[in-house]
Every structure is written in structure tokens, then in C-alpha cells.
Amino acid sequence: MHDQHKRPNKQIAESGELESLRKLVEEQRQLIERANGDLVKMQHDFGDFAYVVSHVLRGPISSILGIFELLDSKSLTPENEHYFEIIKSRTQIVDEVIHDLNQIVGLQRGVRDIIQVIEPKEIIENLLGYFSKEIDTKALNIQWDLDGVSSFLSSKETIRNIFYHLIDNALIHGCLSDKPQITFAASIENDLIKFVVTDNGPGMDLGKISNKIFEPYYKYSKNSHNKGLGLYLAKLQVEMLGGSIGAFSEPGKGFSVHFDIPKIERAERRVLLDSDVVRFTYYPELSAIKAKWKRDLKPSEFNEVFGFILDFIKRYKTNFWIADISDSNNNEIELNQVRRKFRARFHETGIDMLIIVTGDATDRGVNNETNISEQIQSAYTIPVVVCKSLDDAIAIISKSKTANQ
């Protein structure tokens, strides 16, 4: 049999099946789009809620806490003083919860961070200094087994936060023996960097709670005064780096937290800001930030971006600043007013050197190499080097880094 277009019935059947399949695919596509839209809306709504909680409420709570500090509770009757302390402590708890929520939301959004060269022992030693009072009080012994990982590439701020929570957890729950000890170990296996933080505390039978200990507000010690967020925040940050985390413990044999993160072979250069005035690029392999000025600057424009540069340099301990002025012809003496304004903050950053890239122009008026160096050097006490090209600047930095090794 044939249809009116003289197609065999088999073709008609196949055509009908194909059309049905197309309809089914289209229905599923629409369902997925609606589901995705719902997820985006939920994420947006959650973000709005988090903003309200972490920003709108934070201000009034901070104000209330400030008022508490101004009040003299001793002038109150004993009964009112008791209620005063209750209200104050409850407000502090609310403030801490808002802070925790803000941190959790930021981590769940996967805030991107700068990839840098990290020396794990340096990170941990700096954190131990933060906990020095508690470490000295408990006569804590620190053991190291980090020879397998002298340095690696990752987000320094995220790694620091992970170790902060693991050290805090070990100090709270692990340092209960007569001779408390924490061991830090690291190794590289295939494409993973592995870390282990172990204490010699009483340990526990993890049993059915091995996964619960990484849940928010879970406390595995009823006598603990912490909020039960440390391991949860550590887990979020490890996962943000694409890694995994776990724990091992037995009664009387201490407690270990181990986490793995992917090994990064090479850190990409990253554009931090790109406006009509300037383009900021971070060079992780050089520990340098480059500012490419796109045109002549007014002091007000220079003032606006100068603080951004200093905040970045200080936060990420950047050693070198490359200022590419090849496309501008600034009045450096005029801009020195801004530089001197930020002089104290500039030297707090610990930056080693400022390299000025002038380009190939030879008829730049007052902005020849000698004048530029003298004009800018007068605002700083750090070395200022002037060169023709970015390649020259990179060579200068590489030579300086080699000399300091």
C-alpha cells in the first residue's frame, strides 16, 4: 500500500516514528530548559537572600554590638546586668552566624582566586604563629613531613583557609593528651597533591558519622564550644579547588584529616581589570602585576586605580609592579602627588621593585628615560628601573629573582 504521495507504508511508519522522536526530544529539551530556569532562579533567590542577610542585616547588628561596648553594664542592677549579658551574647552569636553564612555563600558560588606558587611550610608556619598563644599554653609539638612537596601551584588564600580550619580543629579536639602533637604531611601521587593533618588526641570511632563530620554545624564532641563549621568550610574550599577530603580515626589513635587537590602544571596569566584607562594583568610565574596605561592620566584617575593596585599587591604578596606607559605621556611630577599620598600603604606591601616600560618613543619631552626614573624615584624609596619593552621588564625580574634565590 502507498499513501497519496506514493510512499511505501514502511516509509510512512518510519516517518511517523521519527516525528514522534522529534516531539519527544523537543519535550525533553523544554523540560530541561524549564528545570534549568528554575535552578537559576533558585540560585538567584538564594543569592538575594544571602545578600540581605550578609549585608543589610550586618550593619544594624554591628551597630548594636558597638552600642554594647559603650554601655557601662556595672551601672545596672544585678538582674538587668544579667539580661544585658544575655542579649549581648545572643547578638554576638547572630553576628557570627551572619559572618559564617556570608563565607559559605561566597564559597558555594566558587569565587575565583589567583593561582600562585605556594610553599606549604611557609603557609602553615604563618598560621601556627596566629595560634601561638594556644600552642605555647598546651606545649604543642609540631612534626613535619613535607619534603615531598616543597612548593606547588594553587590559590594561596584558599589553601591558607583550609589549613586554618584543620589546625583549629586539631587544637580543639586533638590536643587533649599529656604531650599533644600535630603532624603535617604532604606527597605527590600521579596528578594529585595530598596533604594529611594528624593529631595524637583521644580519637574516636567514626563508624556511621564519617560523612557527618563534614556537615555544617555538626559537633562530634558535646563538650566543644565551637560552632561545628570548621571541617565543613574546609570541605567546601577543597572541593572548590576540584579536590576531595576525608577523615580517619580510631579510639586512642588520634584523628587525621586528609585532602587531595589536582596538581596544576602551569598558572595562566589573568586580567584583573580592563577599562578605558588601564588594563591590569597578573603574571603568576613572575609574582608581578602589570599596569598597561592606555592614555594620559589625570591625577584623579590615577588616584582611583592606585589603591586597587596596592590592595592587590599586599593581599597576594606580589613582588614586582610593571607600569607600561608606552601609550601615555603623563606628567609624572603631577602624578607624584598621588604617589606620595599612598606612600605609607605602598611600603606596607613589601614590593621589591617598580619597572617602568617606556616603549620606543624617543621624543617624549620630559618623559625620557632619565627624567622618568628621577621623577618617579623621588616618590618612592624602592628601586625604580626604566626599560624599553615588556621583554626587558621580564628579563629584569627574572634576573632579580635568580639573584635572591
Spatial distance between the Cα atoms of 58 and 234, rounded to a whole number of angstroms: 24
Residue 3 within a domain: no
- Of the residues 199, 234, 262, which one is the last residue of a structural domain? 262
Spatial distance between the Cα atoms of 194 and 2, rounded to a whole number of angstroms: 69
Same domain, 101 and 134: no
pLDDT of residue 393: 92
Same domain, 121 and 185: yes
Spatial distance between the Cα atoms of 199 and 147, rounded to a whole number of angstroms: 19
At 70, which CATH number?
1.10.287
The grid coordinates listed for 229 are 563549621
Residue 4 within a domain: no
Spatial distance between the Cα atoms of 338 and 344, rounded to a whole number of angstroms: 12
Residue 17 within a domain: yes
Q: Number of structural domains, the chain?
A: 3
pLDDT in tens, 48-83: 555 555 555 666 776 677 777 777 777 778 888 887
Spatial distance between the Cα atoms of 240 and 243, rounded to a whole number of angstroms: 7
Could you tell me if 214 and 231 are in contact, meaning their C-beta atoms sit under 8 angstroms apart? yes
**Global pTM?**
0.62
Same domain, 210 and 334: no
Residue 213 within a domain: yes
At 288, which CATH number?
3.30.750.24
pLDDT of residue 350: 81
At 228, which CATH number?
3.30.565.10
Spatial distance between the Cα atoms of 319 and 309, rounded to a whole number of angstroms: 12
Residues contacting residue 276 through CB under 8 Å, at least 6 positions apart: 294, 295
- Of the residues 108, 126, 158, which one is the last residue of a structural domain? 108
Same domain, 96 and 146: no
**169: containing domain:** 115-262
pLDDT of residue 365: 45
What Rg value do the Cα atoms of the chain yield, rounded?
Answer: 29
pLDDT in tens, 245-265: 999 988 888 899 999 999 988
pLDDT in tens, 282-337: 988 888 889 898 888 788 888 878 877 888 887 777 889 998 988 887 777 788 88
